[in-house]
Structure 1
Amino acid sequence: MTPSLPRGGAPDYRPLDLTGVADTAVDVFEDPDDVRLGTRVLHGLPFRFGDRERAVLLVPPAGSARVPVDGQPTWLVFAHALLEPELFEGGRVGQEVGAYRLEYADGTTVTRPLRQRFEIGPTPRRWDDRPLPLDWGQTPLLARNDAEHVLMNRSCGRYDEAGARLVGIDDPQSRVPYVLPYRFYLWAMENPRPDLELTGLVAEARGASLILGALTLSDLDEEPFTRTVAREVLVEVRDGGVTESLELRVDRGTASYVLRTVPDVEAAPELPGGWGRSRPEVWSTGYTKVSASPSATVTVRDGDTVLGTLRWGDLVERGVLTLDRCTVRLPGADQNWVRTTVRDETGEPVACRIRFQSTDGIPLAPYGHHAHINSDGGTWNLDIGGDVRLGSYTYAAIDGACEGWLPTGPVQVEVARGFEYEPIRETVTIAPDQTELDLVLTRRFSARDRGYLSGDTHVHFMSTQGAELEARAEDLQVANLLLAQWGEHFTNTEEFTGRPHVSHDRRTTVYAGQENRTNMLGHINLLGLRKPIMPWSTGGSEEDELGGGLATTLSHWADECHAQGGTVVLAHFPVPYGETAALLATGRLDAVETIAYDEYNITEYYRYLNAGFRVPLVGGTDKMTSEVPVGLVRTYAAAGGGDYESWCEGIRRGDTMVSSGPLLWLRVDGQPPGTLLTGRASVHVEVELETIFPVERIELVRNGEVIRTEPVGSGATGHRFGLTVETDGSEWFAARCFGAADAGPRHADTWSRPVFAHTSPVYVSSRPVYERHDAEVLTTMLAMIDGARRHVTEQARTRWAGTVRHRHGEGDHLAYLTRPFDEASAALRDRLDRHG
């Protein structure tokens, strides 16, 4: 049941009726039409302003006026201001500009001075002739203006208010031009003699005109404006879940958005520590932060439905209140500012991802990071850099150290650093006097010691510094930050330098390249560029601007990239499935990219391998949201030189392994992926697994067929096996593995990617040469090439108005566009002819 609100009888705040003393019309203000009058509630307190004809009491300089006041109030709250802007014309801060004299029934009086910018200040103006409003940032130091902080709609609003929405309140600083949000200042004066009956108040003006708009008396033993710092409040909804429509409304204070609490990290974990947890469909508990006066009324609402009402002082006193349809509880308030350091085995601080939460499920973000990224999900091109959301959990990328508030007592913590460190998931205890916390990450495996670097082929929207920090936090040595066009939106233009950005420890590289895109022909990653290759997108929406023409093809982009010594990767192979066959047929691809294991995509890859195309497999995230960590799908490439260029060389050689967690190493007769072995009647295959993730099985694939399935024991962090295989003609071998089980659990990123690893092939022939042929695949490729060419000639916008000279400089634009398709058709027909 709802607790009773002890406000019966005399009201707690009593607005006075100043009708008998108000003597000045609203025209005294600069913008009279914008002045709100009548009965108002400001900061939860009732005020009674006059009407337009008798809006305020105006006391001229050296004048005075008496206001009848009765009762024994504890506080008097004035809504007042100065009329003249002397403060902004050289007036002195702290100068006495007036006073209030209280008159008591016993004949005594008490006077309180009004000082410029202390208890009072000039009523605001527009300042149309100035770039900055002079009253902004110069409001009275001991008073509040009459504008309240209003929590903005959490999930919708005007486009031009997007920035203010992230602030949480309707922020006047975000408005252009500046709009006056207030007219009066609210000053609370404590009654020095509440034991005596008041009879009147005399307002005196000295150096400026005093305007009094309203006066409210308090009968409560509390400060009218709360000074308590906001604290967490837990709300448990019965017969329903926490959604974005759940809110707490506080009349005398503030409340933030209600966000879901998060599941206990140690209860039935789905993934290793630091790798998130799937978001429940329904979750009954949320939390918010409230700052309120003891007399404040707190209303819990879900849209238009009231779930219950309480008095804040009652909740503070009892700690928990059961309302009609929910329960509201205060967690413990004790907390310390704690500095946390994460070190490796050598004792040096190490970059990582970290998160804390209370045992009540309240996330505790290190200072400067988000507890909930973008409220509760949906983060395309938002909050990218420094924070990662994986299902229910939000992580902060830190450079080995962070600090912020942690509650005393048990605190749950998770720390992760890529695929080669043992993650931390534990409960630590913060002692009452503790201000330091040390955590240690332990390396389990080392791909670098094997000669491999890990890299993400496909990252968007981040800054170079942000990409570097997140890459180091994920133990990722390479991040390819790709410039792109999205209609009329161009991203990361300023990041392009034409050279690698190398971290201070020389172990991480961020290289700004490009993802050039067409809606129908496909997307292509151009890595290691020295100069931009334009246009970034072409052929109209969705990638290019609406109605845009087709200016070039993926093949021409690939040629320009290779001319610079760059590396060409077909993004998220094979889709968009347009120019893919032409690129493969002409040998323009250095690798094809997978962003997640999928039966369709991998089967297409196998089909091309079976048709004799030797093309490496690489992995990237296509990160466009903070709900994807950099390197969640990554490419391990042999990099003897230990730098970006040698990593790219490893890709071009095909010595790669793609992983979303497990490390899977393949050797055929001791040779790595990408190797061509000829004249071998048989080969010895060795496969080794290293993993912090649970893996169910390893599969050895020959020519697209699984020839060996190797179960992996529950809880195993490693597994290896070997076998000898007889060869017949030209064959390819690859290894792959899947998390336990391959249908789940999956990663908690925005696309719920599976846990897997897949190597590039080793190519083996029992003859002196390696040559495979599949007429059906080649015929299908010819059909794809013909369809893509016809799209160019019959569907694409290629007819510009007027005389046009294209970037490529050729006179016949259509011939330029179709040339790569004709080259590809000729190459495939030649292969078909050679095989009869």
Structure 2
Amino acid sequence: MSTPPSPHFSPVNLAGLWNQDRRHLDATLRPPQDYANRHGLQNILGIPFELGPADSPNVILLDQEPVTIPLDGARASYILFLHAVEDRVTCYQQGLADYATDGNELGTQVAQYTLEYADGQAAATPILRRFAIQQSRIQWGASPFAAMPAQKPEVFLTTTDEQILGRVPRQPYGRGETRHISGREVRPEHLWVYALPNPHPERPIRQLVLSPGEERAVIYAISITQLQEHPLRPGVRRKLRLTLPEGVEVNRLGELEGVDIDLGTVISARAALDYDADRWQGEEPVVQPRRSDREVLVEYAAHPHARLYLTTGPDSHLAVDLATLDHPAVVEVKPAHRPVTVRVVARESGQPVAVRLHMHGEAGEYLPPRGHHRKVNGYWFEDNYAEFVNLYNQYSYIDGHCVVDLPLGWVYVEITRGYEVRPIRTRVEVKPETEELVFELDKVLRWREQGWVTADTHVHFLSPQTALLEGQAEGVNVVNLLASQWGEMFSNVGDFDGKTTFGAREFGGDGEFLVRVGTENRMQVLGHISLLGYAGAMIHPLCTGGPTESAIGDPLEVTMAEWAERCIAQGGLVVMPHAPNPQLERAADFVLGVVHATEMMTFNPLSPNNIQVNPYGLADWYRYLNLGYQIPVVGGSDKMAASSLLGGIRTYAHLGEREFTYENWMAAVRDGNTFVTVGPLAAITVEGVSPGGQVHLPAGGGTVQVTWRVESVSLPIEQVEVVVGGLTAEQVHVGKALDASGSVALPIRESTWIALRVRGSYKGQAGEIAAHTSAVQVLVDGKPLFSPTDAAAVLDQIEGAIAYVDTLAPRPEAQRFRQLRARLEAAYNRLHQRMHQQGIFHRHTPLHQHDRPHEH
């Protein structure tokens, strides 16, 4: 059912006074399309207006003669008119700017509306163009100053939200991203509502006289009210919690439909969030609220005497008077109208530091800083700003200072800054005199001072400056922002110049937090490859081989190996992203020796819906370690939405004696002393040798001394494992402590590798991996590592890549086809020969039977 109009208004009966059929008005006065066929009682802006009947005179054309409207002693504080003046061409200068019907002309006296009282007195009001009245057809920006469009603002969902609900998105041109549109923009043609103030509301009104002026006007309807507040002035934002009646449910988005306000707008109506105050101030690394299934938080803007209506059935609704909120289903939420400056500083220096900030009120309502969204949109390629959403908790990135509109009373705060700074989760009381809140952060781990730097190897869509802010706030020293192609869309291409490291001293930064734009070059089947930090021209094509990464009709122009070789020639770092997938050409590229690191990826390790360090990615990496390819491990978020946490999984790389620059960071990764983590920091040495290095033992092997340590700011450590050749050789149960260390002597009889694996879980799930170091090779009698089982699996992948190139790949011209295919054959032959050298004879697929013909 539709929302009833406000009971505070009474439509004026204009029967017998209509003098024109709106269908017969000329072009300058023609009715807006939306009003061409509307008749009878209409609810406009929550106000009842009686429009004239069809097929007869139904509007008042104010042209030559005055029109008198009896009011029979009615009392009113305001008289409201639904009207419009004729369209007019704006002329700034004859012969130059004299053709647009844009509505920018103003000041002409269109008419005079006169109130004649029962005592014989009168009060006349001039009706001026673009003040009390405006023409129906205007261009953007020509809003009248004292009249409202006869259309409420519209609140609508994003495209993705609509699709989740199984609907066709209503708003074109990306409007879903704005969340709302004003009444001035909803329709291309308008009628206007003007509230004429009565200077003597206590006097009975005998009649209303409408006198024409210099231009023609059309009055569609009139209504009166005795409200003291201006009836068209929109209210400021307020909130309430509403308990849902039986049978009323929220939708799949957790939002309530069928709720409206007569003299106002519902901004949002979302399932309320209930936080446990004790848990919030406890030691858990992540505290989520419980989303209510019976209460919603309604945010709205309304006239003080508006009413909220909730549809409860086909012919029934619940009504709440917002003036009193006197209803058992409603609890008022304190308005967030107190602007408070929030500052976050490092305790040691007193200097402001960038952080990730969350604040909510006593009713669970999110309280964003000014300039940030009240609902952070976590969908792909939407809302790629300085924000993060982790299930129900929403965050903003700030540079150490912001202004937040807060309610009086208790406000709950969470502040984080990476994996070496103790997070803050507390509550503060906001009082009427509160103007500033200052929070001090303590750095409790000192790995940066010991030469370790952090990095996210895989970020998309952010601007470089936003990436720099998020990196600072998350304690990520190096953010690799990767341009790429997505079908017919290209991202961050304009940010790439092959030389600028944002944040570096030579580019005006402090040198501690850096952003470099590289590229992720991609193919749907063969795979993705990240090309970091290379200089010179962008490596094209960014994507190839057709959808979904490349455009439909694009041929397969290159192999990933060729992209990698070009990156190396241009001084860059080659990373194989998001192991283990796509699991095809990556095998050939490891064998060819053109990959510097393999990446473990997770969008958001804090989320209950995401893994932490992917065990499948680790197992895939172990294959190559078992074949002697000493590839270091790195971490990247693949951030493409606000629901992805930049640096949530990250790389730690040890600089050694180098100073910190982007180029030296790349060198440190190549050297291999790295670890990947979602929280705990981990280090291991074998006979004093760090990951990336080698330990040599004589024939027959020997015993090696392994030393390790782990530390964590907030994520409890459950178990530490020394991994040898992919198997657990030593297991230490830490018991959810935040630090541990140890050593073990391990007998080694054949060439292998050793690394450290750390278990711990944000969601309390047993066995989750929280950190993993790169490997130390241990060579016995100089013999290389070689696992026949892993070699066979890798060879199968390379054969699969060749099969795809031969059969389904969109084929380039013949010479290019032979060249790219030759790179894959080279990798195949190199590993194949190693297998035969080891005396291993394996099963061939039909594509590689030595004694039978095949497609290639």
**Normalising by the residue count of structure 2, what TM-score does the alignment of the two structures yield?**
0.86
**1:190/1:656 CA distance change after superposition, 3 Å:** same
Task: Give distance in 1, aligned partners of 2:133 and 2:689.
Answer: 82
C-alpha displacement of 1:771: 1.4
**1:348/1:332 CA distance change after superposition, 3 Å:** same
Q: Which residue of 2 aligns with 1:181?
A: 189
Q: Which residue of 1 aligns with 2:804?
A: 791
Q: Which residue of 1 aligns with 2:467?
A: 467
Amino acid at match of 1:142: A
1:523·1:571 contact (CA, 8 Å) conserved in 2?
yes
Give the one of 665, 671, 690 matched to 2:683.
665
Q: Which residue of 1 aligns with 2:238?
A: 231
Give the one of 320, 329, 334 matched to 1:310.
320
Tell me the alpha carbon deviations over residues 71-96 of structure 1, each in whole angstroms, 9 at most, x when there is no partner. 33222112233336387669985565
Which region of structure 1 is more displaced relative to structure 2, 389-398 or 45-54?
45-54
**1:826/1:523 CA distance change after superposition, 3 Å:** same
C-alpha displacement of 1:114: 2.6
Q: Which residue of 2 aligns with 1:652?
A: 670
Amino acid at match of 2:299: K
Q: Which residue of 1 aligns with 2:854?
A: none
Give the one of 125, 135, 141 matched to 1:137.
141
Q: Which residue of 1 aligns with 2:477?
A: 477
Task: Give distance in 1, aligned partners of 2:205 and 2:183.
Answer: 39
Q: Which residue of 2 aligns with 1:169?
A: 180
Amino acid at match of 2:801: A
1:261·1:363 contact (CA, 8 Å) conserved in 2?
no
Match status 1:677 vs 2:677: no
Q: Which residue of 2 aligns with 1:57?
A: 60
Give the one of 299, 303, 306 matched to 1:293.
303
Tell me the alpha carbon deviations over residues 675-717 of structure 1, each in whole angstroms, 9 at most, x when there is no partner. 1121373322111111021111111111111121112233x32
2:115·2:124 contact (CA, 8 Å) conserved in 1?
yes
Task: Give distance in 2, aligned partners of 1:19 and 1:44.
Answer: 22
Q: Which residue of 2 aligns with 1:20?
A: 16
Describe the SS at the equivalent of 1:450: coil
Tell me the alpha carbon deviations over residues 245-303 of structure 1, each in whole angstroms, 9 at most, x when there is no partner. 51320111111121233342644359967x75557576443323222235433112489
Match status 1:212 vs 2:224: no
C-alpha displacement of 1:638: 1.5
Match status 1:744 vs 2:748: no
C-alpha displacement of 1:828: 1.4
Describe the SS at the equivalent of 1:231: strand
Match status 1:635 vs 2:638: no
Amino acid at match of 1:486: W
Identity %: 30
Which region of structure 1 is more displaced relative to structure 2, 438-447 or 498-507?
498-507
Describe the SS at the equivalent of 2:449: helix
Describe the SS at the equivalent of 2:580: coil
Describe the SS at the equivalent of 1:543: coil
Amino acid at match of 1:364: L
Describe the SS at the equivalent of 2:279: coil
Amino acid at match of 1:146: A
Describe the SS at the equivalent of 2:323: helix
Task: Give distance in 2, aligned partners of 1:541 and 1:456.
Answer: 27
Amino acid at match of 2:358: R
Describe the SS at the equivalent of 2:800: helix
Describe the SS at the equivalent of 1:246: coil
Give the one of 505, 514, 520 matched to 1:509.
514
Tell me the alpha carbon deviations over residues 132-164 of structure 1, each in whole angstroms, 9 at most, x when there is no partner. x2xx43333222222221323563244762532
Q: Which residue of 2 aligns with 1:577?
A: 583
C-alpha displacement of 1:737: 0.8
2:577·2:598 contact (CA, 8 Å) conserved in 1?
yes
Describe the SS at the equivalent of 1:630: coil
Task: Give distance in 1, aligned partners of 2:771 and 2:756.
Answer: 8
Tell me the alpha carbon deviations over residues 343-366 of structure 1, each in whole angstroms, 9 at most, x when there is no partner. 002100001100110011000000
Tell me the alpha carbon deviations over residues 186-240 of structure 1, each in whole angstroms, 9 at most, x when there is no partner. 2222333344432211112333334322111224555423443121122233667
Amino acid at match of 2:241: L
Amino acid at match of 1:588: V
2:85·2:136 contact (CA, 8 Å) conserved in 1?
no
Q: Which residue of 2 aligns with 1:751?
A: none
Match status 1:522 vs 2:527: yes
Match status 1:594 vs 2:597: no
C-alpha displacement of 1:342: 0.4
Describe the SS at the equivalent of 1:432: coil
Describe the SS at the equivalent of 1:678: strand
Describe the SS at the equivalent of 2:174: helix
Give the one of 561, 567, 574 matched to 1:568.
574
1:256·1:288 contact (CA, 8 Å) conserved in 2?
yes
Amino acid at match of 2:557: A
1:246·1:302 contact (CA, 8 Å) conserved in 2?
no
1:266·1:426 contact (CA, 8 Å) conserved in 2?
no
Describe the SS at the equivalent of 1:413: strand
Match status 1:332 vs 2:325: no
C-alpha displacement of 1:110: 2.5
Amino acid at match of 1:550: L
Describe the SS at the equivalent of 1:699: strand
Task: Give distance in 2, aligned partners of 1:302 and 1:449.
Answer: 62
Q: Which residue of 1 aligns with 2:275?
A: 264
Give the one of 82, 86, 91 matched to 1:83.
86
2:580·2:616 contact (CA, 8 Å) conserved in 1?
no
**1:125/1:783 CA distance change after superposition, 3 Å:** closer
Match status 1:104 vs 2:114: no
Q: In structure 1, list runs of 5 or more residues that go unmatched.
A: 127-132, 747-753, 805-810
Match status 1:486 vs 2:486: yes
**1:713/1:743 CA distance change after superposition, 3 Å:** closer
Task: Give distance in 2, aligned partners of 1:304 and 1:592.
Answer: 59
Amino acid at match of 2:188: L
Describe the SS at the equivalent of 2:405: strand
Which region of structure 1 is more displaced relative to structure 2, 670-679 or 209-218?
209-218
Describe the SS at the equivalent of 1:397: strand
Task: Give distance in 2, aligned partners of 1:210 and 1:380.
Answer: 49
Which region of structure 1 is more displaced relative to structure 2, 509-518 or 199-208?
199-208
Amino acid at match of 2:820: L
Q: Which residue of 1 aligns with 2:384?
A: 384
1:272·1:423 contact (CA, 8 Å) conserved in 2?
no
Q: Which residue of 1 aligns with 2:620?
A: 604
Tell me the alpha carbon deviations over residues 598-650 of structure 1, each in whole angstroms, 9 at most, x when there is no partner. 33332222232222221111111111111011111111111222111111111
C-alpha displacement of 1:435: 1.2
Match status 1:543 vs 2:561: no
**1:672/1:619 CA distance change after superposition, 3 Å:** same
Q: Which residue of 2 aligns with 1:617?
A: 633
Give the one of 724, 730, 736 matched to 1:702.
724
Give the one of 710, 713, 716 matched to 1:689.
710
Q: In structure 2, list runs of 5 or more residues that go unmatched.
A: 94-103, 163-167, 504-508, 602-611, 840-856
1:385·1:470 contact (CA, 8 Å) conserved in 2?
no
Aligned pair count reads 784
Task: Give distance in 2, aligned partners of 1:416 and 1:668.
Answer: 34
Amino acid at match of 2:721: E
Amino acid at match of 1:734: A
C-alpha displacement of 1:735: 0.5
Task: Give distance in 2, aligned partners of 1:737 and 1:347.
Answer: 34
Which region of structure 1 is more displaced relative to structure 2, 544-553 or 363-372?
544-553
Match status 1:146 vs 2:150: yes
Q: CA RMSD in A?
A: 2.8
Describe the SS at the equivalent of 2:735: coil
Amino acid at match of 1:105: A
Q: Which residue of 2 aligns with 1:808?
A: none
Task: Give distance in 1, aligned partners of 2:766 and 2:250.
Answer: 25
**1:702/1:759 CA distance change after superposition, 3 Å:** same
Q: Which residue of 1 aligns with 2:773?
A: 759
Tell me the alpha carbon deviations over residues 47-73 of structure 1, each in whole angstroms, 9 at most, x when there is no partner. 122246524323336x42211112332
